Chain A
Amino acid sequence: MIPETTGPVVLFSLPLAAAIVVFIRPRWSVPVTLGSGGILLATALWVVVAVLRQGPWRQDIGGWTAPLGIGWTVDGLSAALLLLNASVGLAGAVFHAARPAARTPVRDPRFFWPLWLFLWGGLNALFLAADLFNIYVALEFVSIASVGLIGLAGGSAQAAAWRYLLATLLGSTIYLLGVALLYGRYAALDVALLAESVEPELVTVVAAALMTLGLLLKAAVFPLHFWLPAAHGRAPPAVSAVLSAVVIAAAYYLLVRLWFGPFAPLLGPGVATLLGLLGAAAVLWGGLQALLQRHLKMLIAYSTVSQLGYGLLVFPLAAAGAVQLAWTGAVMLVVAHGLAKAALFLAAGAIVLRHGIGRLEALGGDQQGAVVAWVAFAIASASLVGLPPTGGFVGKWWLAQAALATGGYFWLAVLMLGTAFTAGYLWRALQAAMRPGWETEGGFQALSPALGLSALGLALGSAALGLAAPIAARLLDAGSGVVG
């Protein structure tokens, strides 16, 4: 019987080892990435089952315990995000391997694979880490890999990558300032140790403010979202998928970890309402912008700004007393969004490849070769809007219950209005498929069915999350030790 502590070791080491291999031997890229991707998905599932069976655990690195050493925590929250990362990582790799090489926007395909695997490994390292400085290094890892991947699309994407680099480095630096203050104050970097000793006093408040600001910038929360639409809209499709689904969720994950862990004593009604208002503004502003977009990928990119706003509603609802419901609801929503959003970007990638153009009004007409992609788009849209029985529905239902239980009718209204916006902009995209289209020159080029199928797999996953709601609730209850 292999102990469950092997799971994190594989999740951490395998992507990095595979990245080295494909850097040294580029011609092995596709088999190595898909092979290790399969193993990583299976391992992530195993870790989820292990958490469901025996609850969360902690493992020390190098045989040293905190505060001297570093540890990993595996609980429901991190297991859920590890599984999300593995699903999107594998689907994106399948999509990228199946794309027609001649019409790909990727400038230099050799470098996609090592960067992809490095990003995968960095994200896994981040979701496992239980140490604030280790988290910082993992954040840097994720940022640089993301910048490289965005830039691969060449042209205007390189300018977007540059802006993203500046924004995300600023975010990391501000976060690091906060970490330094906390270390100076408590002589500890371990999240669990800090949660035991934090007191609400000046140094902690400044540190919490800095770290939150840095992470809000990285999560592209309104009004710090300025860098996101160009970066996510112009990157290659698989890259847009992982950025919107997992990289953004990683920053959100840290916000939740910190505010329901070490910073919990500081989460008064004022802070919570402020964060909630930022979320509400993001929901409405992002939704409005998505409605106005004319390019399919830009529409989806603005939708990310909007959807992440829901995640921030957890703070006011939890502060008002409905901790359990708000927490599971928000995390469920973010995970369901991740799967659905990655499906949308991959489907959009296949559709744009089919039509040779991304403008909404040009996507109609003959859909031969893009039918599966449109089906995936529709299912993912259903989850994003929150139609039963999808994961998006369950997440919104729990959040709505939390709002009703605490009398937070304002937050309920935001939830409803955001849903109306989401339905509106996704309907615009789906409607484009049904209109008579433009005559595309050069006719239609056969595309690999794997493009649409990779999107369909993620979309079905997002929908199935709703059917698995009781299991998901149990998993997330095994989340942060502070909750419940």
Chain B
Amino acid sequence: MGVAGVIFDGLLALALVWLAWQATRAADLFHAVVSFIVFGLLMALAWVRLEAPDIALAEAAIGAGATGALLLSALDRLATRDGYHRVLYEPTTAWGFWIPAGGALLGGLTLAAWKLPAPGLGEEVLASLKLSGVDHPVTAVLLNFRALDTLLEIGVLLLAAVTIWSLGRAPSPLVPAMPSPALPALGRLLFPVFVLVAAYLLWRGSHAPGGAFPAGAVLGAGAILMLLAGARPWIRSSEHGPWRWILSLGLAMLLAAAVTGSLSGLAFFEYPRGAAGPMILLLEVAAGLSIALLLFALYLRGEPCEHGYREVGS
């Protein structure tokens, strides 16, 4: 790594710290949200510099994209009430506690990180890669070696959607009318590209960075963009129709795959010999679909309507 790289990384680190400070301490909430979105994008860049393209993709799509859209729409809902925007942070009286405590934490972490040998398990993963059914180490870890973690993580997403639904109904109309026709037109134009990119990422996952999480995140972000472009969501809370099935599909399939192992006399979550590759691909497709729809469902900010939505602006 040359001098330019060091300078770039240094600037990146400084920018991240500055943006984090802005996001938490800006007096204007809009300012804070925009800082947070930019923080997400720069963070994705940082992951690229750390040679973790999978995480960079997820960070950009979820950390900056989906979360940013959620925060902006929350801001929009706050605007309809009074007391919005100028949230004045009350000067904390407990600086005497927080500064030493934060300092101690930071100092301890720095000192510890300095001493880390950071051996990791990279060699063990590569040694067992042949048996895993896929060629990409990250996918092998996520859907074979540590598939139980992935099952619970997809469960967390479903659980989060159920929790948000339990808090109340989604607002209707879902988005404010767009003042400009450019974004809606662009959104409709771009959606096929989102679908294509998601499908590509999913297929790539077996041998290169990609897989269910980035693919689902990209597809979900595309759907949110469509929503902002004025498309009325087709997802309903009704018991009839496929939506609840698709939302649960990822968790259900992972659970089924796990139990299949036990039922066929193998360990829990052990794939039958030779079937690991196809099973993982199937699980990736199911998980990707669920993740996309779950992210979209989170963005609805409440339980979707039973039957339909009003047109924007009507």
Residues of A within 8 A of B (CB): 5-6, 8-9, 12-13, 16-17, 20, 23-27, 59-64, 67-70, 107-108, 111, 114-115, 118, 121-122, 125, 133-134, 137-138, 140-141, 144-145, 147-148, 151-152, 158, 177, 181, 183-188, 201-203, 206-207, 209-210
Contacts and interface: CB of A to CB of B under 8 A. Distances in A.
Contact of A67 (B124, B247, B268): B124
A6 B265 CA distance: 10
A207 to B, nearest CB: 7
B282 interface: no
Chain B interface residue count: which class?
Answer: 35 or more
30 contacts: A5-B268, A13-B258, A13-B259, A20-B248, A20-B251, A23-B158, A23-B244, A24-B244, A59-B267, A62-B267, A63-B261, A63-B267, A64-B128, A68-B145, A69-B146, A70-B146, A107-B166, A115-B159, A115-B163, A137-B153, A141-B152, A144-B160, A148-B159, A148-B162, A151-B163, A185-B117, A187-B121, A207-B112, A209-B108, A210-B108
Contact of B266 (A27, A63, A111, A210): A63
Given A13-B258, A134-B149, A184-B117, A206 B112 contact: yes
Q: Which of A12, A61, A141, A147 has the most CB of B within 10 A?
A: A61
B262 interface: yes
| Residue of B128, B167, B248 most packed against chain A (CB within 10 A) | B167
Q: Is the interface of A mostly helix, strand, loop or mixed?
A: helix
A147 B112 contact: no
Contact of B155 (A64, A111, A118, A210): A118
Contact of A184 (B116, B156, B261): B116
A70 B149 contact: yes
A203 B116 contact: yes
Contacts of B166: 107-108, 111, 115, 148, 151-152
Contacts of B255: 13, 16-17, 20
Interface in B99-135: 108-109, 111-113, 115-121, 124-125, 128
A248 B98 CA distance: 26
Contact of A23 (B109, B146, B162): B162
A64 B149 CA distance: 14
Given A152-B166, A206-B111, A138 B121 contact: no
Contacts of B261: 62-63
B34 interface: no
Interface in B149-185: 149, 152-153, 155-156, 158-160, 162-163, 165-167
Interface string B234-251: 000001000011011001
For the complex of A and B, 10 pairs with smallest distance between CB atoms: A148-B163, A111-B166, A63-B270, A187-B119, A62-B269, A206-B112, A184-B116, A137-B152, A24-B244, A203-B112
B237 to A, nearest CB: 9
A181 B116 contact: yes
A214 B252 CA distance: 31
B156 A140 contact: yes
Given A20-B255, A63-B267, A64-B144, 9 more contacts: A5-B268, A16-B155, A17-B252, A70-B145, A70-B146, A70-B149, A141-B155, A188-B121, A206-B112
B148 interface: yes
Interface of B: 108-109, 111-113, 115-121, 124-125, 128, 144-149, 152-153, 155-156, 158-160, 162-163, 165-167, 239, 244-245, 247-248, 251-252, 255, 258-259, 261-262, 266-271
A197 to B, nearest CB: 11
B148 A70 contact: yes
Given A6-B262, A24-B245, A24-B248, A141 B165 contact: no
Which of A23, A144, A147, A209 has the most chain B CB atoms closer than 10 A to its own CB? Answer: A23
B259 A9 contact: yes
B268 A61 contact: yes
Contacts, number: 156
Given A64-B128, A67-B124, A148-B162, A20 B145 contact: no
Interface SS of B by simple majority: helix
A63 to B, nearest CB: 4
Q: Which of B109, B166, B247 has the most CB of A within 10 A?
A: B166
B124 A68 contact: yes
Nearest to B105: A210
A108 to B, nearest CB: 6
A210 B160 CA distance: 26
Contacts of A27: 239
A202 B115 contact: yes
A152 B167 CA distance: 7
Contacts of A152: 166
Nearest to A151: B167
B109 A206 contact: yes
Contact of A64 (B145, B156, B167, B258): B145
A214 to B, nearest CB: 12
A140 B108 CA distance: 25
A185 B258 CA distance: 31
Contacts of A185: 116-118
Contact of B159 (A5, A118, A207): A118
